[in-house]
Each structure stands twice: as structure tokens, then as C-alpha cells.
Amino acid sequence: GEAKIARGSEMAVLAGSIYAGDVVEEVNGLDHSVVARGISQNVRWVVTDHVHKGKLERVVTIKGFDATDQGVDREELVVDIVRAVPVPLNGVEVHEGFLEIAMAIYEDVRPYIDSVSPSHGVVLNGHSIGGSLCTILLFLISLDAEMDQKIVKDCYVFGSPPVVSEGSVKELGGCVPGGDAVLELFGYPADIIKSFVQPWDPVTRLFTSSDPTYPLVGDLGQDGVTLYASGPNRILRPLVRSILLIAPTWPALRDEYLQTSDVKLQNVGRQIVLLPQETQYLSDRFITVSVAVPDVGAMAEMGSEDLLPFLYEAFPLDEFSISFVPAALRSFIHHFWPAYTTALGGVIEAAAESSSELEKM
């Protein structure tokens, strides 16, 4: 409903604010007060307070990967991101690198969650890997015997890579209709995680059976730095090669990523796909790729197990098409945080205009 979208828009803007140069000023402009902020294992986070429905609400917002952030070890973080081989956690298997980062974050933010009054609430919020880390943070709170897991009211994620092994989810068996087997395992309702997805955003498919980026590493030339070694010439090939030649962490990153060839992760929670208008969709599929973020024509909400088949059929992304400049640019633009704030904000504005027009009639 409109309330869910308005709330999603609010959290998307907050998730984007952590990328700002002056985070405190940006967050204060959203009527949030900064309680704490820090860096845990090369990931930034901020804890804020605000009033929601007459009660204090504390939000833990976790930043995604930012290639311009010189205050963290970006190369080390990238290696952690591609360390995706799953490890056990309470009956399921999760992304190893994300689990380690989430545990470091939880150790640092736990006092700010534990000190919240039971009559108030906590929201977890993040874009890109920040959202993935929020998902695992939710699991860790559930497993903390001294923490009241009901203190977490919502978890909002935007354009986030999946974190749970598909095979381990299948071993859990079924769940109640409309439920989520993983969240049931951790004692949460399926809708506690609201995952917003731009359908052309490739990051939401990382480390899955539909990952369009893995072959970029799997299809290496003998020199170890030439991507897209097979097939026709592509503009990105020499450009990427020149970058990798001077990247000191590339060998470690490459070797780590190659170990993920059999990794099949999947999403968790309710998936809300931001669909373009019909004309834009048809143009993108059959005429020419548009790199701009389109207005939202509709939204499709589905369970976590349905997202990848839906994207595979309706919004195909493969290693061949994504290696050409227009699709590569679209992939970057549709993942960057403004793609979510702009799209959701546009839905709110359109609803307000429609309401205003009805009042005039």
C-alpha cells in the first residue's frame, strides 16, 4: 500500500544519506539525530533516532560499497565481498565474508540496540551490501540469547546481494503460505524484511544461479587480466584490462571470486520489484537500452524464492549483453542508491498529484 511505499521511500533516502560528505548534516535534514557512527571491518554505519508514529525509533543504517571512500580499505572490502562460499549459521548457510563483517558491526552497534526501550523499536536499513549485512544482523540479533529480537520492527534493504545458500534453504522444507522458511527459522515474520529491487540492477543477482557477472572472471585470458577472452571484441575489454594491470589486489580478488563458481545464494524476505512503465520496458527489451532510471509503472511483490525466476524471464541479464557499454552503464546507474530514492520518491509524488486531482474534481 501507499504507507509501505512512503516508508520505503523514507528509508531509501536515509540509506542514501550515509554516502554524503557530511553525514550528520544530511541525516539531521531528515529529522534524524545521530546517536553514533563508526567503521567496522571497512564498512561504515550510523545509528540515528527519530520519532515515528509518536514513538522514538532507532535506525541502524549500513553503507554499501563506495569506491570513492578513502577512509576504508576498499580493496580489502572487495575481497571480503567476493568471499561468498557459504558457511553454517543456525541451520542455514550464509555468505562467509558478509557474516564476518556483520559480526564485527553487531559487536559495535549492539549497545545501541540493547539500550532501546521495549516500547520503542529498531529498524535495520541499508543499500547494496549494507542491506545484505542488515539481513545477517537480523539473524545475529535472533541468536543473541540476551537480546529481545522483537525490538527489531523492520528491515529495509535496497539493491542488495543475496546472502543465504539456496541449497540450505531447500533443506529446511516448506513454510506457511506467504511465509519465508529462513525467517521462520530465526523467529521472524516473512515481511520483516522489505527488499526493494530495480529489475536491471545486476547486484541483486550476484552469487546466484543467474549471476551475470561471474563469467567476467571465469572467462579470463591466459594473462589473467583480460576479461571476456572469448567472443567478439568489446570496448570494455581493453579498458578493464588496463585497470587490472595496475590493481595490486586483483590476483587475490580473482582467485577468491573463482571459488564462487558453484555458489548459489538466494534472497530473503518480501521482494518488491520496481517495474518500469510498459512502453519503457518494451523499448529496453526490443529496441535500445536506456540507461536512465525509469519512472515506476507498477510494483510486483513476491516471495524470495520467486525473485530470480521472475528476473530471469522478464529482465534477462547475461554476461554477453552486460559486457557492452550501454548495458554496463545501465547496470551501474540502476544499482547506485539514487536509483532507489528517485524511483520511490516518484511514486509518492505521483500518488500525491493523483490525490490532488481527485480533490479538485
**Digit-coded pLDDT (tens) for 62-94:** 999 998 899 999 888 988 988 888 999 999 999
pLDDT score, position 251: 63
Cα dihedral sign, 207-180-93-106: positive
**pTM (two decimals):** 0.87
pLDDT of residue 357: 43
3-state secondary structure of 111: helix
Q: What pLDDT, on a 0 to 100 scale, did the predictor assign at position 356?
A: 45
Pick out the chain residues at pLDDT < 50. Answer: 214-215, 217-218, 225, 232, 234-246, 354-361
Element (H, E) at 123: strand 121-127
Residue 48 three-state SS:
strand
pLDDT at position 358, please?
35
Q: Nearest 10 degrees: CA dihedral of 91, 95, 96, 100? A: -90
**Alpha-carbon 324 to chain mean position:** 24
Angle 228-231-234 (CA atoms, 0-180°, nearest 5)? 60
Beta strand 33-40 pairing with 43-52: antiparallel
CA-CA distance, 225 to 238, in Å (whole number)?
Answer: 10
For residue 244, the SS3 value is helix
> Which residues in 317-336 are b (16+ Cβ under 10 Å) and which e?
bebbebbeeebbebbebbbb
**Cβ neighbours of 359 (radius 10 Å):** 7
- pLDDT (0 to 100) of residue 127: 97
The C-alpha cell at 155 is 528491515
Tell me what pLDDT residue 115 has: 95
What's the pLDDT score for residue 194? 97
Q: How far apart are CA 103 and CA 108, in angstroms?
A: 9
Residue 122's φ and ψ, nearest 5 degrees, are: -120, 140
Q: Mapping DSSP to helix (H, G, I), strand (E, B) and coil, where does residue 265 land?
A: strand
Contact 28, 41 (CB under 8 A): no
Q: Characterise 259 by phi-psi region: left (phi > 0), alpha (psi -120 to 50), beta (else).
A: alpha
What per-residue confidence (pLDDT) applies to 288? Answer: 74
The pLDDT value given to residue 167:
92
Amino acid sitting at position 70 = Q
Question: What is d(CA 196, CA 348) in angstroms, rounded to the nearest whole number?
Answer: 15
